[in-house]
Amino acid sequence: MASLPNSGAQSESFYHRDVKWSSREKIAARRAFEQALQREFEIVMNETRQRAAKIKEPADLWSLEDFLTESRKKIDRDFDYRYSQLIEVFAILIERGRLTLEELDGLREEKIDQIRSIVEFYKAS
C-alpha cells in the first residue's frame, strides 16, 4: 500500500481518524466493502484455478503456495474495515479496480470528495 504524505496542507484532508459515519453511511460502506472483497476473492480463485491447471513440475506447486500466502496477507492488510481507515481503503480499492465511486452511493458528498482526491493522488504518484 502506497503511503500518503503525513505533512503539508494537502495531507490534512487525507487523514480521517475522527470522521463520523452515520448509520446510513455505515450500511452503504459495508455493502461496498463486501462487494469489493467478493471481487478480490473471485480474482484470486480464478488465478488459482488457472495456475493449478498449468502445474507441470514441483516448483509450480511452491509457486502456487507463495501466490496463495501473498494473496491472503494482501487481503488481510488491504481490507481493513475500521471507520478510521475506510476513506483510504475505499480509495485504494477504487484505484485497484475493485470498486467504483458510483458504488459508494449513500456516503456524504464530503467523503466522496475525499476519496476522489486520494484516488487522484495515487494516480499521479
Long-range contacts of 114-118 (CB under 8 A, 24+ apart): 114/13, 114/14, 114/16, 114/87, 115/87, 115/90, 115/91, 117/13, 117/14, 118/4, 118/14, 118/87, 118/88, 118/91
Q: Give the span between the Cα atoms of 42 and 40, in whole angstroms.
A: 5
> Nearer Cβ to its own copies, position 22 or 69?
69
Which is nearer to its own copies, 77 or 123 (by Cβ)?
77
Binding site for its own copies (CB under 8 A): 41, 44-45, 48-49, 51-53, 55, 57-58, 60-62, 64-65, 68-69, 71-72
Q: How far is the CB of 80 from its own copies (least distance, A)?
A: 17
Q: What is the DSSP letter of 107?
A: B
CB of 63 to its own copies, least distance (A): 10
Q: Among residues 22 and 38, whose Cβ is nearest to its own copies?
A: 38
Report in angstroms how near the CB of residue 93 gets to its own copies at its nearest: 17
Q: Is 16 helix (H, G, I), strand (E, B) or coil?
A: coil
Nearest CB to its own copies, comparing residues 13 and 71 = 71
